[in-house]
């Protein structure tokens, strides 16, 4: 009988230890904003309803977007400082292929200036990320669709 009690007790201890698991909870880091970082416009094109044609957007500098919403534009001659913002909007917009949609989408705006009077105001009806190194902003200008391709600098 004593042997049976010892065996049952040992089996119970082994079974309870075998069912234990240890978990380590790692606090989740906030997601990094995909826009944060330095960017250049590598292409700009307008769609007139039939085809796309490239144009010079006149922005040959580096855009730097900070996680706190701050923005900076440096073209080598002047540094403009300001802010950027994205928000979800519903309503009509064109994507980077010239297709029209009316669902929820991300808009993007940048406003920057300098004490010398230079300003930069960009607004995009829609932005979409191609990957971590590139995003596309589109804007309907009243006669055609403009698209700007931003690439990491």
- Evaluate whether 104 touches 133 at the Cβ level (below 8 Å): no
The answer to the question of residue 26 being in a domain is no
The answer to the question of residue 99 being in a domain is yes
Phi first, then psi: give them for residue 110, nearest 5 degrees.
-135, 130
The answer to the question of residue 16 being in a domain is no
The answer to the question of residue 140 being in a domain is yes
The answer to the question of residue 64 being in a domain is yes
Instruction: Please choose, from the candidates 43, 75, 44, 47, the residue with its C-alpha nearest in 3D space to the C-alpha of residue 61.
Output: 75
Q: What are the tens digits of pLDDT across the range 3-55?
A: 665 655 556 566 565 655 556 666 655 567 899 999 999 999 999 888 999 99
Q: What are the tens digits of pLDDT across the range 98-136?
A: 999 999 999 999 999 998 889 999 999 999 999 999 999
Chain centroid, CA 119 distance in Å: 24
Q: With 0.75 as the threshold, say if the pTM is over it.
A: yes
Q: What are the tens digits of pLDDT across the range 53-105?
A: 999 999 999 999 999 999 999 999 999 999 999 999 999 999 999 999 999 99
The answer to the question of residue 54 being in a domain is yes
The answer to the question of residue 30 being in a domain is no
The answer to the question of residue 120 being in a domain is yes
Number of domains observed in the structure of the chain: 1
Residue range(s) defining the domain that contains residue 82: 36-152
Q: Output the domain CATH number for residue 142.
A: 2.40.128
pLDDT of residue 1: 57
């Amino acid at each position: 009988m004593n042997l049976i009690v010892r065996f049952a007790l040992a089996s119970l201890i082994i079974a309870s230890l075998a069912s234990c698991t240890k978990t380590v909870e790692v606090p989740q880091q906030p997601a990094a904003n995909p826009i944060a970082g330095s960017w250049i416009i590598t292409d700009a094109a307008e769609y007139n309803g039939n085809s796309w044609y490239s144009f010079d957007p006149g922005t040959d500098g580096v855009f730097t977007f900070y996680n706190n919403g701050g923005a900076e534009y440096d073209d080598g001659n002047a540094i403009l400082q300001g802010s950027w913002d994205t928000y979800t909007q519903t309503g009509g917009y064109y994507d980077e292929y010239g297709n029209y949609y009316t669902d929820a989408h991300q808009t993007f705006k940048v406003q920057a200036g300098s004490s010398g009077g230079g300003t930069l105001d960009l607004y995009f009806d829609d932005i979409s990320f191609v990957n971590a190194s590139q995003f596309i902003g589109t804007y309907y200008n009243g006669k055609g669709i403009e698209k700007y391709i931003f690439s990491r600098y």
